[in-house]
Copies of this chain bind each other. A is one copy, B any other.
């Protein structure tokens, strides 16, 4: 039987708030078994860019990463946030090691080709080239990788990369070696039947159930890409995907989950 391995992703809503982050990290430190944390960037990069007089540009909600901006996100994601998280986890007896996709060549990527839009220094993960062996060395030595949402192009450049994408790619890459539960922490308890009712969490979505929910048009459109990505990860080998609230992390690492479990 393969060892259980939790790939856990937190976004800006956790990272931006010191109290939220601190209580999340206390729970994360208590998660039993092998685990990895992927953190998003949050608003602090934008704040620091403002102070440095660098304009934050977005197209369709996606940050354009020009020369100044890649330096800022490298500083903020790879330095400030990543090392704050690591230092806090270390104080909680969790042996964290903070890394980017450049370190140990963990996550090679290619700079996104320019079509209609030039996103700048943005990376698309080369999923087949993820350094599984390096991840395994860390995990088998009871280290807990904490990944910033940065990759590299192999030609000396750091690339800004979506944290959800990194989480899925790492989960898939390590699913041969481990029994992976990929956990996306977001701002709701789970996938809701009624988007206005936090108590309407759908506890289990199988492919069959998903077809049914789609047919009944019961799901909020915004959640569909998350579920599609979850099934894509499952089709690529991930055992199961959990979408839930950061506050419920510990329960969501048990068999009795409170968020939405997505399975084959």
Residues of A within 8 A of B (CB): 48, 51-53, 71, 74-80, 82-84, 86-88, 90-91, 95-100, 102-105, 134, 137, 141, 143, 150, 152, 154-158
Closest Cβ of chain B: how far from A109's Cβ, in Å?
Answer: 11
Known: A77-B79, A86-B100, A97-B99. 7 other contacts (CB 8 A): A74-B79, A75-B80, A78-B78, A87-B158, A90-B102, A96-B104, A97-B104
CB < 8 Å neighbour of A154 from B51, B91, B104 = B91
Which residue from chain B places its CB closest to the CB of A137 in the assembled complex? B141
- Closest Cβ of chain B to A65, distance in Å, is 14
Interface of chain A: mostly helix, strand, loop or mixed: helix
- Contact for A79 among B82, B104, B137, B155, CB less than 8 A: B82
Contact B104 A143 (CB under 8 A): yes
- Contact residues in B for A102 (Cβ distance below 8 Å): 83, 86-87, 90, 96, 98
Contacting residue for A103 out of B86, B91, B150, CB 8 A:
B86
